[in-house]
């Protein structure tokens, strides 16, 4: 009898678990699988995780993410998030316009520049400076940064330098090509002229300078006579771009459940940490103040995680803070009519980025969402030697073939008292009690005389 009850309990437990644990080494075990195409460039590249992948995760620390090659082998990778202050770094490539004039012209008081078109190329000349005649030489380079609206954090020069000679680069900005403001400088040294054997990082810090509507000028000097000319071909400016709502990974959902005009509920397939929820009234409501809360089981109290006011025509999301929840509740202020119909929801996630070593055989696959997966992330410094914050922004960006308009199917909330899952758990408990009683009876029943 005990064996029969044990078998029945195991059968009920199997029914409660639903299915066997997934094998994280098998790409087919993941809920979402998306094709990845590496960009031209180096083997170490970055992947910005799409909302489809983030919504499928089951691990709160994002351990269930893999990038597989064509043979099903997981690739080495690291994970990073957005920079402090919710900003991401972008790289802006600019061509250099040489500044031509007499030697020492830029150091003269009142020196002024003029941009000219010569043989289809832009050349910058000194139109006010020293009057002594001398042979025109290249004095520096000008960059047109007037269209850059984000704050500039660094400048990396595409230049050929005299080998084994220190060169000091000075960076200045101006709105009128006459009055210049210093914004940065650095001494660069290379054992060979074209980036080989550089002594330390070569990015010139710019300290979040505002370049909008201004030009940028780079000049160079050396404490010793240069044995070869400096050839400045272009530059890459690292700019800090604030992550607005549209920058965060977002995914629309199926309609939530409307309990009444002031109570909207939705459930996720698995607990997740949401950065924000965009709530769009579907029946033309003009103003609906709301409060959001979350929980993970019907017997738990609701935990407040955010609040805001929904206005007609506004797309501003309600920012959330808190732990991972599976059940969410939207409460409309009862001083208003509330929601005449279930609103449209869009879930927003905090951005996450992978740094991946593509050293396998294509095709490559981004996989996300597998129960029981362990974290396989390396330290980013192991993939990017000499790593400094923001260095991943300069890596080639691999393309993920995500859906054009992904939709997350919301789960049915487990609110009923006698749901199938609860019935199975109660059945297990009752079977355990009966089995324990049977064992006690067998131990204590009087033996035959």
Task: Output the six-digit token pair for 238.
Answer: 């690292």
Interhelix angle for 420-444 vs 2-17, to 10°? 160
Per-residue pLDDT at 57: 94
Kindly give, in sequence order, each residue whose CB lies less than 8 Å from that of residue 316, ignoring residues fewer than 6 positions away.
Answer: 245, 278, 308
* Angstrom distance (rounded) from CA 81 to CA 349: 11
Task: Determine the distance from the C-alpha atom of residue 388 to the mean position of all C-alpha atoms in its chain, rounded to a whole number.
Answer: 17
- Residue 253 CB neighbours (<10 A): 18
The per-residue pLDDT for range 108-138, each reduced to its tens digit, is 444 555 666 655 566 566 555 554 455 677 8
Angle at CA of residue 140, ends 135 and 141, nearest 5°: 125
The per-residue pLDDT for range 205-247, each reduced to its tens digit, is 887 788 999 999 999 998 888 888 889 999 999 887 665 545 7
Contact assessment for residue 252 and residue 294, using Cβ atoms and an 8 Å cutoff:
no
Angle at CA of residue 75, ends 73 and 80, nearest 5°: 150
* Angstrom distance (rounded) from CA 100 to CA 248: 45
* Angstrom distance (rounded) from CA 141 to CA 160: 13
Task: Output the six-digit token pair for 18.
Answer: 């639903």
Cα atoms found within 13 Å of the Cα of residue 394, Cβ hemisphere only: 16
Per-residue pLDDT at 338: 95
Q: Which of 252, 325, 251, 244 is nearest to 282 (CA)?
A: 252
Per-residue pLDDT at 446: 66
In the chain, which stretches have pLDDT less than 70? 1-22, 82-88, 103-135, 193-197, 241-246, 413-426, 445-449
Buried b (16+ CB within 10 A) or exposed e, 45-75: bbbbbbbbbbbbbbbeebbbbbbbbeeeebb
* Angstrom distance (rounded) from CA 274 to CA 305: 10
Contact assessment for residue 113 and residue 64, using Cβ atoms and an 8 Å cutoff:
no
Q: What is the pTM of this model?
A: 0.60
Q: What are the φ and ψ backbone dihedral angles of 444, each rounded to 5 degrees?
A: -105, -5
């Amino acid at each position: 009898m005990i064996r029969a009850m044990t078998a029945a309990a195991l059968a009920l437990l199997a029914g409660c678990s639903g299915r066997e644990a997934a094998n994280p080494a098998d790409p087919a075990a993941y809920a979402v699988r998306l094709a990845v195409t590496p960009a031209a460039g180096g083997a170490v590249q970055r992947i910005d995780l799409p909302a489809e992948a983030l919504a499928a995760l089951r691990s709160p620390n994002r351990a269930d993410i893999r990038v597989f090659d064509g043979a099903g082998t997981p690739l080495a990778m690291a994970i990073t998030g957005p920079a402090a202050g919710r900003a991401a770094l972008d790289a802006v490539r600019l061509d250099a316009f040489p500044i031509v004039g007499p030697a020492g012209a830029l150091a003269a008081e009142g020196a002024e520049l003029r941009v000219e078109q010569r043989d289809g190329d832009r050349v910058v000349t000194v139109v006010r400076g020293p009057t002594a005649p001398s042979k025109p030489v290249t004095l520096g380079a000008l960059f047109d940064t007037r269209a850059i609206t984000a704050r500039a954090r660094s400048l990396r020069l595409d230049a050929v330098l005299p080998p084994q000679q220190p060169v000091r680069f000075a960076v200045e900005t101006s709105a009128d090509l006459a009055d210049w403001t210093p914004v940065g400088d650095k001494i660069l040294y290379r054992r060979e002229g074209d980036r080989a054997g550089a002594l330390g990082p070569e990015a010139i810090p710019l300290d979040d300078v505002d370049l909008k509507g201004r030009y940028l000028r780079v000049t160079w000097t050396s404490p010793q006579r240069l044995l070869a000319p400096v050839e400045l071909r272009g530059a890459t400016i690292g700019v800090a771009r604030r992550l607005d709502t549209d920058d965060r990974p977002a995914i629309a959902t199926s309609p939530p459940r409307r309990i009444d005009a002031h109570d909207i509920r939705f459930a996720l397939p698995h607990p997740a940490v949401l950065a924000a929820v965009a709530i769009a009234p579907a029946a033309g409501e003009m103003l609906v103040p709301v409060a959001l809360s979350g929980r993970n089981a019907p017997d738990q109290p609701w935990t407040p995680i955010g609040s805001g006011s929904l206005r007609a025509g506004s797309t501003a999301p309600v920012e959330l803070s808190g732990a991972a929840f599976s059940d969410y509740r939207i409460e409309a202020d009862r001083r208003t009519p509330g929601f005449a119909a279930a609103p449209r929801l869009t879930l927003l996630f905090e951005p996450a980025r992978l740094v991946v070593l593509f050293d396998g055989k294509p095709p490559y696959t981004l996989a996300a969402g597998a129960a029981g997966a362990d974290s396989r992330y390396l330290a980013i410094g192991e993939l990017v030697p000499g790593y400094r914050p923001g260095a991943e922004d300069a890596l080639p960006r691999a393309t993920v073939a995500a859906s054009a308009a992904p939709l997350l199917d919301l789960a049915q909330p487990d609110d009923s008292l006698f749901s199938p899952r609860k019935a199975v758990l109660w059945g297990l408990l009752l079977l355990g009690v009966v089995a324990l009683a049977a064992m006690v009876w067998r131990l204590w029943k009087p033996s035959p005389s």
